[in-house]
Structure 1
Amino acid sequence: MKSIALKTALSIAEAGLSHAEKSGFKPMAVVVVDDGGRLVAFMRGDGASPGRFELALAKANGCVMLGVGGRALAALNASNPGVVTAAGNAFGGKLFPAPGGVLLRDGQGAIIGAVGVSGDTPDNDEAAAIAGIRAAGIDFQP
């Protein structure tokens, strides 16, 4: 399975933070993980609290580990929270079922990683993630 390249991951993070700043969002952190949930890139905007890293990582990690976007994870949590709690426990707490976690796919639909953003509302976190991903020209699943 192909994974996200460092140069691409850095461009996603930079474009996501730029979108957040231009949109007047609160300071954010952006994490990009590979197809195994391992950290590839991380950027924290000026003024973003240090805990944003862990939240963004948990959003991205949950997407990769369960193979769905953050919106689908949030829906699963709403309908069956026990499943999400169990999965979070299995992943050492690294699962945050909320918009702002976005799955990355290659042109054939294979998972190549995920982006997690934290700092503002879940919808704004997701908007920043998607802006970064679109700037890199990658397929995604919110």
Structure 2
Amino acid sequence: MNITLKQAQAVIEKALAKSKEIDTKMNITVVDTGANQVAFARMDGAWLGSADISLKKAKTACFFGMPTGEIGKLSQPGQPLFNIEHSNGGLISFPGGLPIKDGSGQVIGAVGVSGSSVENDHAVAKAGTEAI
């Protein structure tokens, strides 16, 4: 099962609300289980370069079914996924990308957020996932 457009838009809306709450400007991307973009929002004034990062964070979380921050821990020197960020056309291995799961725990897509500190990116992505 894939995330629907309606669900993806709900994720975007929740993430936008969190971005406004913490007073930051974000790029937010939602992808389906095939890592295809379903929805995107770039807040007025958000960094242009973060649009691509948000997409790559969403794809990374989707490809591996785990938070991008966890991939980052596993991709450090001496760890089992060292250099994985060079695969799949470029991955992002720092926080801000999360899988989106349905009520039964099945991954239906992912969200990627970029535009602030990795802590803020993660918080906004987490808020987005709570829409499902």
Give the TM-score taking structure 2 as reference length: 0.90
Find the aligned partners of 1:106 and 1:46 in 2 and give their Cα distance.
30
What is the number of residues matched between the two proteins? 132
- Secondary structure at the counterpart of residue 47 of structure 1: coil
Q: CA RMSD in A?
A: 1.7
Specify the alignment match of 1:91 in structure 2: 88
Going from structure 1 to structure 2, the CA distance change for 1:115 and 1:71 (only over 3 Å counts) comes to same
Alignment of 1:11-22 (within 5 A): 11-22=10-21
Q: Does 1:70 align with 2:99?
A: no
Structure 1 consecutive aligned stretches of length 4 or more whose deviation exceeds 6 Å = none
Letter of the 2:118 counterpart: P
Q: 1:118 to 1:80 in 2, by over 3 A?
A: farther
Mapped partners of 1:98, 1:21: distance in 2: 22
Higher helix residue share: 1
Out of 111, 117, 122, the residue aligned to residue 121 of structure 1 is: 117
TM-score by length of 1: 0.84
Q: Over residues 89-141 of structure 1, what are the superposed CA-to-partner deviations in whole Å (9 max), with x where a residue is unaligned?
A: 33111x1011110111122222111000000111101111111221x1x2xxx
Counterpart contact for 2:76–2:82, Cα < 8 Å? no
8 Å contact 1:56–1:116 — kept in the other structure? Answer: yes
Aligned-pair identity in percent equals 37
Q: 1:101 aligns with which of 97, 100, 106?
A: 97
- Structure 1 residue 131 corresponds to structure 2 residue 127: yes
Separation in structure 2 between the aligned mates of residue 54 and residue 28 of structure 1, nearest angstrom: 12
